[in-house]
Amino acid sequence: MTLTVRLQNGQTGENTANKEGRIFPPYLQIKYLTAKEEDIGTGIEVDFSFSTVYTMPQEKFSQDVGIAMAVFGVMAAIWGLVRTWSWYKRTGRVGIDFLTLIKFVLYSMGAVGNAFFVVMMGAAFWFLLFFKNQGIALLVPQTREQENIYVIYISVAFALKVIDLIHMFIMHSTIDIFLIDWERPKGMTKKEEGVVEEPVSIWRTYFVANEWNEIQTFRKINTIFQIMMVVFLLHVVGFENYATRDAYSRLHFSDTNYRAPYSLVFRFALGATVYLLTGIVQWIWFTFFYERFISDPVREFVDLCSMANVSVYIMENYLYGYYIHGRSVHGKADTGLKDMFDNLKREENNMCGQRGLLPNTDQQTFRMALPRRMRQQYDKILLPLQAQAGQPQSRMDRGPSGQGASQFEKAVTAYETVNRLLSSFIDHALRDIDYIVKDKLLFENILDAEFEDTTLRGHFYNDSGHSFDGVLFYGNEVTLFIFDLLFFNIVDLIAQNFVLAGVLTYVMTQLIVMLRDFSGKKNLAKKTLVDERFLI
């Protein structure tokens, strides 16, 4: 027997003020079978069940959600168009081609995925909050058929974020990066071929390359703590018990309490809310305390570049990238322990210049919008070698007479040539290629774009000190966090088990880190001409 009770309020186009808490006449559905006459009196047990189903018109709520999805979806598509326009300018394209359309689709999919997530989480949390706190019967949980619509939207949002994550991976794994060594030979030395300059140690460059390799997957959110805390709050503390389909709110059930079935919408609302709030607390802790008083790996990397006398030249797009000015104010970094200590003391006591690119400034990090001629000179030197750089060679090829010997000599020559090219560019020593340093306009910062033309002269834009984290996990925490949150809740919607969702989410985050480490290491070796065997 099933008793269906349908609330009168919630219908579209009707005045529901005088219908709140009222119901339509209940509908009783009885399913029965015919008993055989010979079975009467034999003691045969007959299964019997009784259930009550509460429903209400969901048209108004579904309509509101649909409107919100449409509005946020259009806004996301517009933002995708802005991102595509910015990418179009940064790549120096002269016409809309197929790749431009693909980029628009990819940027829009990432933004629409965020929009779907915001709308569905907001709708689910609103429904849970008002249902559990209503004084009279105004809301009832959705039926399984109605919940399937929410599950579909959440699944679509997750699929879009998967594509967004893959797009981010490809972008990060194909950046151009070069380490500019400012160190100069200390003097001349005699060798068999005559008097030559003393070689400069390469170990400082290798050290900076390894540090860059390490911070590529550094995140603001500690995923282990995040998942453990979320599972603890939901499963151990008992917040998941608020996701039942009845109006009662309790953290724990005794053996005598009736436990109503879980609502998928309520489980998503609780899982997403707890995951989001835990992440926000972590972000506040990291931003306002950990970075300031304990450790800031990104800014520490900039300090390391200054100590190593090595600058970092990063090209995210064909004509756009980032520059970390690591030129030592002491003129050299290949020194002994005493000299290094003395240099630090001089800097601490303001007895030397400042580290900034411009005189009497501390600004070391910049966004770059380069002239096309500069990029062409860079590619002319490196492109013929980058296809083979970073590739492992056989033992015979590594020998002095092996097939890789000539290729190695070409790589060394190319490295030295690019090093001179970029250092001359930074020093304004190139005749036809130059740049200026300036601040971005307000709308340029808001839209993350550049309005001015850089065909003849490049622009170095002052930044917040870590804009280059846009090619690291550190600067893409929102994308990674939303992906983790959606993956956690998708697993729970399938298995209805927060513990299993936590375990699988941790495994997924580690797989993502491993893949990013692998691809980033390969690209770093290829683009910097640093042998991959020296990258730890």
Give the tens place of pLDDT for each residue, 1-45: 777 777 776 554 555 555 666 777 777 888 887 777 776 667 677
Q: How many CB atoms lie within 10 A of CB 26?
A: 10
441: left (phi over 0), alpha (psi -120 to 50) or beta: beta
Q: Where are the alpha helices (DSSP H) in 216-263?
A: 223-231
Note whether residue 405 is domain-resident: no
- For residue 234, give the H/E element and its range: none
pLDDT on residue 344: 85
The pLDDT tens digits for 355-378 are 999 988 999 999 999 999 999 999
Note whether residue 429 is domain-resident: no
* Mean pLDDT in residue range 498-515: 97
Note whether residue 403 is domain-resident: no
Higher-confidence residue of 194 and 144: namely 144
Note whether residue 41 is domain-resident: no
Task: For the chain, state the CA radius of gyration.
Answer: 31
* Mean pLDDT in residue range 161-183: 95
pLDDT greater than 70 at residue 396 = no
pLDDT greater than 80 at residue 255 = no
343: which 2 tokens? 């240099």
pLDDT greater than 80 at residue 412 = yes
pLDDT on residue 146: 81
| pLDDT confidence band for 532 (50 / 70 / 90) | confident
Domain of residue 138 covers 59-174+216-252+259-294+475-534
CA proximity to 172, closest of 483, 477, 524, 461: 524
pLDDT on residue 167: 96
Higher-confidence residue of 253 and 132: namely 132
d(Cα 57, Cα 261) in Å, to the nearest integer?
21
| Angle 386-392-394 from CA coordinates, rounded to 5° | 130
d(Cα 220, Cα 435) in Å, to the nearest integer?
34
pLDDT on residue 391: 53
176: which 2 tokens? 């151009």
CA proximity to 141, closest of 199, 213, 56: 56
Strands (E), 63-187: 176-181
CA distances from residue 217 to 222, 472, 514, 521 in whole angstroms, order as listed: 12, 6, 9, 11
- Mean pLDDT score of the chain, rounded to an integer? 87
d(Cα 318, Cα 176) in Å, to the nearest integer?
9
d(Cα 239, Cα 235) in Å, to the nearest integer?
7
Note whether residue 131 is domain-resident: yes
The pLDDT tens digits for 432-478 are 899 999 999 999 999 999 999 888 899 999 998 789 999 999 999 99
d(Cα 348, Cα 131) in Å, to the nearest integer?
61
| Angle 278-500-129 from CA coordinates, rounded to 5° | 45
Q: Which residues contact 313 (CB under 8 A, 6 or more apart)?
A: 177, 178, 179, 180, 321, 323, 422
Partners of 55 in the β-ladder: 6
Strands (E), 109-182: 176-181
d(Cα 510, Cα 16) in Å, to the nearest integer?
51
Q: Which residues contact 520 (CB under 8 A, 6 or more apart)?
A: 172, 173, 213, 216, 217
Note whether residue 264 is domain-resident: yes
53: which 2 tokens? 């189903």
d(Cα 505, Cα 1) in Å, to the nearest integer?
41
d(Cα 181, Cα 327) in Å, to the nearest integer?
8
Coil/strand/helix, residue 403: coil
pLDDT on residue 351: 82
Q: Are 197 and 188 within 8 A, CB to CB? A: yes
Strands (E), 185-257: 188-191, 194-197
Q: Are 141 and 265 within 8 A, CB to CB? A: yes
4: which 2 tokens? 């269906």
- For residue 327, give the H/E element and its range: none
* Mean pLDDT in residue range 112-137: 89
The pLDDT tens digits for 291-324 are 999 989 999 999 999 999 999 999 999 999 999 9
Give me the long-range contacts of 24-27 (CB less than 8 A, separation at least 24): 27/3
Q: End-to-end CA distance of the chain, in Å? A: 68
CA distances from residue 258 to 65, 72, 145, 254 in whole angstroms, order as listed: 32, 40, 24, 8
Higher-confidence residue of 81 and 135: namely 81
| pLDDT confidence band for 58 (50 / 70 / 90) | confident
Note whether residue 470 is domain-resident: no
The pLDDT tens digits for 258-286 are 778 889 999 999 999 999 999 999 999 99
Note whether residue 158 is domain-resident: yes
Query: Percentage of residues in the chain with pLDDT exceeding 90?
Result: 57
Axis crossing angle, helix 98-133 with helix 264-285, rounded to the nearest 10: 110
| Angle 23-25-26 from CA coordinates, rounded to 5° | 95
CA distances from residue 361 to 346, 356, 386 in whole angstroms, order as listed: 17, 5, 35
* Mean pLDDT in residue range 54-69: 81
Partners of 52 in the β-ladder: 3
How many domains is the chain built from? 1
The pLDDT tens digits for 471-505 are 999 999 999 999 999 999 999 999 999 999 999 99
pLDDT greater than 90 at residue 46 = no
CA proximity to 276, closest of 508, 477, 129: 477
- The pTM for the full model equals 0.89
Q: Are 279 and 480 within 8 A, CB to CB? A: no
d(Cα 473, Cα 496) in Å, to the nearest integer?
30
Coil/strand/helix, residue 69: helix
pLDDT greater than 80 at residue 217 = yes
pLDDT on residue 390: 46
Q: Are 334 and 321 within 8 A, CB to CB? A: no
How many contiguous H segments (helices) and E segments (strands) does the chain have? Answer: 14, 11
